[in-house]
Structure 1
Amino acid sequence: MSAQDSSHRTAIYRTAISHVRRTPLRNAFTYRSYSWYVDVDHLPQLPRVLRPLAGFRVEDHLGDPDGTLRGNVERYLATRGIGPDQGTGLDGGRITMLASARVFGHVFNPLSVFWCHDGAGALRCVVVEVHNTYGERHCYLLETDGAGRASVPKAFYVSPFNDVDGEYRMKLPAPGERLAVSIVLEREGHQPFIATMDGIRRDATVRNILSAALAVPLAPLRVAAQIRWQGIRLWARRLPIIKKPHHPSQEAVQ
């Protein structure tokens, strides 16, 4: 891998991802995976033999597939009032991304997170990009507190067993030696759904890339299959299916 300054060093987080559904049926499961933590301006350059194990493409995320990750994030932010024209842009500050990479050409990112810093290095905002299994995506803009916490109304159909109602309470501190992300759905004083992702940081060395790929082979396909399998189990338990509403495209996202 090409040499990088330590501030741009790419990392891999070997993760445990847990989903807990509390109502109307209780269902809980945990699966292993791994995520990459990268600077969008310094994407990793892997040796040719390793490239099938980790590919990064602009079209896998928000915005113009012919653009750049930075440009697409900044265009989205501008539509939400954070941009040079408003005098509130990032001013070239660092943008880091936590996401799954393509593995042998396949990718599935239920959740991608962008931490957006200003030119002085201070965290300005966080963009949470959610994908569902219907090929749709939606972005939430969060201005987190010192502990990485923020709340936002739910606005995107993710599960056929959950309607678009309630509020997400998220905790998204920038990853360090450990990764600890949580998303709690709140409705009228109760929490019907909780998702967490915890992991330990490893530098993206050849050894660690191979180790992650061997520990969770074809990770994107496995994650998609596990999510669908849990859906089949809930359907078999006669949990009612909620019809998917139309999802209006977000400007600068689709």
Structure 2
Amino acid sequence: MTSAPARPAPHVPALYAVEVRHTRSTPVRYGLGHRTYLWLVDVDGLPDLPRILRPLARFDARDHFSGDAPSLRAGLDAYLASQGVHSADGRVLMLTHARVLGHVFNPLTLYWCHDRSGSLVSVVAEVHNTYGERHCYLLRPDSWGRAEVAKDFYVSPFFGVEGSYRMRLPLPGDRLDLTVQLCHADGSRPLTATVRGTHRPAGTRTLLAALLRNPWSTARVSLGIRRHGIRLYLKGLPIQPRPARPARPVQEDML
């Protein structure tokens, strides 16, 4: 097998204008897509925005991991230590939605964790659902960014927790190109999600342009998920019971 070509380290902070697409193949066919923007930031060097713009892009530790760490880096380090990972002491790049006007909803936040030499140690995929819960998957991607992990967190009310995720999560560069597939033991792949976008330096002008194209983007994402859920329910898709599990609430609307 040939190795993946080396990817130059992306310039951060950056904004990616992205198109997100979900395709369901069973038990009903359904597709959806929307445009938004995502931030790529260094967790040790978060953007320092002018005061007037800070309500439009905030990165709060309470929105990730346990929710009570003093910083994003501290929350990530505590999670990695709980998984026996102690070598990710270098640069960490995070792909995420920022809080916009006090609201945030992140279906998926990704952390590319490196050691001090710059080698990728692991990728953390942090998943949030609309029930106010969050869960992390620790991934060890190959040189092409591919990894597979057993699903053990309830996300959509139309899927249980059976199966696994096959992910392709290469480090973003000029282009962002991510894929997540839900796979079942019978070989079916009932859901495929893709995120594709283009890198832009995260200056004031770029942020304002993104906001004009996608006003209050995080609220739109949250409402869009619920709208499509209603459509799927009206199509007759059965609801799968949500297993009881302890989880910390995700504070979407706290200022």
Give 1:18's match in structure 2, choosing from 17, 21, 28.
21
* Contact persistence 2:22–2:31 (CA under 8 A): yes
- Report the Cα distance in structure 2 between the residues aligned to 1:7 and 1:210, rounded to whole angstroms: 21
- Structure 1 segments of 4 or more deviating over 4 A? none
Residue aligning to 2:240: 242
Q: What value does the CA root-mean-square deviation take over the aligned residues? A: 1.4
CA distance in 1, matches of 2:47, 2:138: 26
Would you say 1:75 and 2:63 are equivalent positions? no
Within 5 A, what are the aligned runs for 1:102-181?
Answer: 102-181=99-178
Q: Give the SS at the match of 2:157.
A: coil
Counterpart of 2:227 in structure 1 is: 229
- Give the Å deviation of 1:248: 4.0
Aligned equivalents of 2:219, 2:11: Cα separation in 1: 28
Q: Does the 8 Å CA contact 2:69/2:75 hold for their aligned counterparts?
A: no
The aligned residue for residue 3 of structure 1 is none
Partner of 1:86: none
In 1, Cα distance between equivalents of 2:180 and 2:195: 9
- Residue 219 (str. 1) matches residue 239 (str. 2): no
TM-score normalised per structure 2: 0.91
CA distance in 1, matches of 2:72, 2:84: 19
Q: Which residue of 2 aligns with 1:35?
A: 38
Q: 1:249, CA displacement in angstroms? A: 4.4
2:22 is matched by which residue type in structure 1?
Answer: H
Q: CA deviation at 1:48?
A: 1.2
Residues 114 and 128, structure 1, Cα contact 8 Å, conserved in 2: yes
Which segments of 5 or more consecutive residues in structure 1 lack a partner in the other structure? 1-5, 84-88
1:8–1:42 CA contact under 8 A, matched in 2? no
d(CA) in 2 for partners of 1:7, 1:150 = 21
Provide the rounded CA distance (Å) in 2 between the counterparts of 1:38 and 1:198: 17
Distance, in Å, in 1 between the alignment partners of 2:193 and 2:80 is 26
Deviations 1:47-88 (A, max 9, x none): 1121121111000111242421111111111111112xxxxx
CA distance in 1 between counterparts of 2:173 and 2:42 reads 14
Going from structure 1 to structure 2, the CA distance change for 1:76 and 1:66 (only over 3 Å counts) comes to closer
Of the three residues 91, 94, 97, the one matched with 1:97 is 94
Shift of the alpha carbon at 1:238?
1.2
- Asked whether the equivalents of residues 15 and 34 of structure 1 are also in contact (C-alpha less than 8 Å), the reply is yes
Q: What percentage of aligned pairs have identical amino acids?
A: 50
Residues matched between the structures, number? 239
Q: Give the secondary structure class of the aligned counterpart of 1:151.
A: strand
TM-score of the aligned structures, taking structure 1 as reference length:
0.91
